[in-house]
Structure 1
Amino acid sequence: MTTPTAAAAAPGRPRPTTGRFRQAARLTRTEFTLFVRYKTAWMFLALPMFLLVVSLGMESYEVFPGVDSTAMSMAGMLGSIGLIVGLGHASNVFTARREALVLKRLRVSGVPQAAIFGAVIGVVALFSLLVAVLMTAVTSAFTGSMPQDPVMLLVAVLLSTVPMTLLGLLVTPMVRNAEAAQMAAMVPMMILLFLGGLFIPLGMLPDPLREAMMLLPVAPVTLMAQAAFTGYDVFGGLEAATQPGYLGLWAAALPSICVVLAWTAVLALLVRRFFKWDPRQP
């Protein structure tokens, strides 16, 4: 009689393969452990909180009845979480793993790209949501009001984590080591922070410039966070903003959601085409 162990070890028998879902789950658990142990990752988590505190020092004026510019700025800072954590963390750790041949060993062992990238996106999304909850609590405590649409707020944070993590992965082919990746990631990070309405309110800009910035992946998320917190339809500008109700607010947010999803699709294709698994040659 042939035992299962002997049958598995018999020559010519294919090894049992691990499903993609299980591979992704294992990698996600590993990514979670490494994220917790990685000091630089905690710095990226703390940076959105720092920006939130900075927004408290800005000059305040009333934007809507019961809503001042400080509350709008603090709500908008929620749009920076995915940008900072996703772009900064992914570019750093994947460059280090590539140079240490970790990524090459994963690919040689048959782990699919979707599992490798999905694991880091999942961990970034998880910690981004945790930071978003903390920042929302601080904003609510300071402004004395709660988010009018918490679901839209969570969706905005989740939507930003995927394209920003993919953008971080696109930084890795251009640099040789993790230190260079940190510096290189700061360039698109700062550009998107300024063009995303986080430091310069989008409602104060001319319509053509505001509409152009709405085609970038950060400004739509910023407006979604502000709309979710205040309940006002700020997507068309502050002058004509109204309170359309739950369904009306989601209808107004659809173009912004489509922009972020389009960026996600484009960046996913670029990562698939240009991401490098082998270490860069000197």
Structure 2
Amino acid sequence: MRTAGAATGEHHASTPGAGAQGPGVGGVRVVGRRLGALGRAELALLGRNRGVVFTALAVPLLLPFSARPAIDQLDLRKQGLTIGTTLLTAAIGFSFLFAVYTSLVNAYVARREELVLKRLRTGELSDAEILTGTALPALGIGLAQALVLCAGSAALLHTGAPRAPYLILPGLLAGYLVSAALAALTASFTRTVESGQVTALPLMFLSMVGSGITFPTEVMPEKLAAVCELLPLSPAIRLFRGGWTGQLSTGEVLGALATALAWLFLAVFAVRRRFRWEPRR
């Protein structure tokens, strides 16, 4: 498996104008314009795939309610939880998985196989800008979905206001960024868009069962919960749920943030080393 740099050779270092703007505000504006243009183009492509759009928008809203009968059997009050906060956290977790992770696996693989990524690399965009710009629509959908879910849950599920609101944003950012990075990593060893439905399953299954999405880790045996808290999306779920319940100590918050940053660093490092820009034929 070739590394990112080996796929097409030294393509950015000699590109005229790639570093002409230099550091500073001007350079940031140029990067912002590039990302905006790429994000708009990706959003247009995403809008043409109705199946992906439906999955990203509808599944996070519907799946938590399908799991409600099982959740109702849990002793949530003993753990300081309510059905409202549990369903809301489940919906946010499904948003991580469906609005961002699976949709981006499909997007990265499709753009690679269509030679879109390869053509983008011949221009002034850096590898990081290409991957980030491609991810922007999915990340935007996920964050917008989170706002709607929080507002809707407060009105319909009587979740009330979050007791530690300062943990909500870090939890959401951790979940969406880790999901996007892992999507790029999954795409690196996914041959086709169709096979992406299979390569994405391990992370999805582990996250649904072990990260506290379908069942809160608080109701698990202590030793099992300690292991599950190390899964990629567990820190984000823990921070988000803790934002509503206010039950996380400072040490637990720092531990969750450290675990999320570790997964993000590892995923980005692996993507830089292993992401494939050439079609897998």
Note whether the superposition's TM-score is higher than 0.5: yes
Are residues 108 and 226 of structure 1, via their aligned partners in 2, closer, same or farther at CA, if it must alter by over 3 Å?
same
Separation (CA, whole Å) in 2 of partners of 1:60 and 1:72 = 15
Aligned residue among 37, 44, 56 for 1:33? 44
- Tell me the distance in 2 between the aligned counterparts of 1:230 and 1:65: 13
The CA distance in 1 between the partners of 2:262 and 2:233, in whole Å, is 13
The question of 1:85 aligning with 2:96 is answered no
Q: Percent identity?
A: 25
Partner residue, 1:271? 271
Residues 49/268 of structure 1: CA separation in 2 closer, same or farther (3 Å cut): same
2:131 is aligned to 117
Give the aligned residue type for 2:107.
V
Question: How far did 1:223 drift?
Answer: 1.6
Counterpart of 2:89, as a letter, is G
Q: Cα offset for 1:218?
A: 1.5
- Say how many residue pairs are matched: 253
Kindly state the Cα deviation for residue 38 of structure 1 after the two structures are TM-superposed: 3.0
- Distance in 2 of aligned mates of 1:68 and 1:259: 23
CA contact (8 A) 1:163 1:260 kept: yes
CA displacement at 1:115 relative to structure 2:
0.7
Counterpart in 2 of 1:76? 89
| Cα distance in structure 2, aligned partners of 1:151 and 1:127 | 21
- How many Å separate the matches in 1 of 2:64 and 2:55? 14
Mapped to 2, the partners of 1:56 and 1:141 lie a distance apart of 18
**What are the equivalent positions in structure 2 for 1:126-165 lying under 5 Å apart?**
126-144=140-158, 145-165=160-180
Contact 2:167 2:240 (C-alpha < 8 Å) held by counterparts: yes
- Cα distance change, pair 260–121 in 1 and its aligned pair in 2 (3 A): farther
Shift, 1:225, TM fit: 1.6
8 Å CA contact 1:95, 1:176 repeated in 2: yes
Do the aligned partners of 1:129 and 1:154 also contact (CA within 8 Å) in 2? Answer: no
Distance (whole Å) between structure 2 residues aligned to residue 267 and residue 85 of structure 1: 19
The residue number in structure 2 matching 1:49 is 61
Where relative contact order (Cα < 8 A, 6+ residues apart) is larger, the structure is 2
Cα drift, residue 228 of structure 1? 0.9
What TM-score, normalized to structure 2?
Answer: 0.80
**What SS does the aligned partner of 1:198 have?**
coil
8 Å CA contact 1:152–1:228 kept in 2: the answer is yes
Sort the Cα spacing of 1:262 and 1:15 in 2 relative to 1 into closer, same or farther, 3 A.
Answer: closer
- Which runs of 5 or more structure 1 residues have no equivalent in the other structure? 1-13, 234-248
Alignment of 1:181-260 (within 5 A): 181-233=196-248, 252-260=252-260
The aligned residue for residue 103 of structure 1 is 117
8 A Cα contact 1:170 1:270, kept in partner? yes
What is the SS of the residue equivalent to 2:258?
helix
Higher Rg of the two aligned structures: 1
Seen in structure 2, the aligned counterparts of structure 1 residues 210 and 80 have a Cα distance that, compared at 3 Å, is same
Could you list the per-position Cα deviations for residues 230-277 of structure 1 after superposition, in whole angstroms to 9, with x for gaps in the alignment? Answer: 2222xxxxxxxxxxxxxxx56541210111111001000100111100
Residues 84/278 of structure 1: CA separation in 2 closer, same or farther (3 Å cut): same
In 2, distance between residues paired with 1:205 and 1:255? 19
List runs of 5+ in structure 2 lacking aligned partners.
1-15, 22-29
* Counterpart contact for 1:75–1:139, Cα < 8 Å: yes
Q: Distance in 2 between matches of 1:72 and 1:15?
A: 50
In 2, Cα distance between the equivalents of 1:266 and 1:68?
Answer: 32
Is the 1:150–1:228 Cα contact (8 Å) retained in structure 2? Answer: yes
List per-residue Cα deviations over 1:34-59 (Å, max 9, x = no partner): 33443213312321111232244331
CA spacing shift, 1:62–1:214, aligned 2, 3 Å:
closer
Return the TM-score normalized by structure 1. Answer: 0.80
Separation in 1 of the partners of 2:79 and 2:109? 47
After superposition, the CA RMSD in angstroms is: 2.5
Q: Deviations over 1:124-160 (max 9, x none)?
A: 2221111111221232223322222334223211211
Instruction: Return the offset for 1:96.
Output: 0.9
In structure 1, what residue type is equivalent to 2:224? L
The AA in structure 2 aligned to 1:51 is L
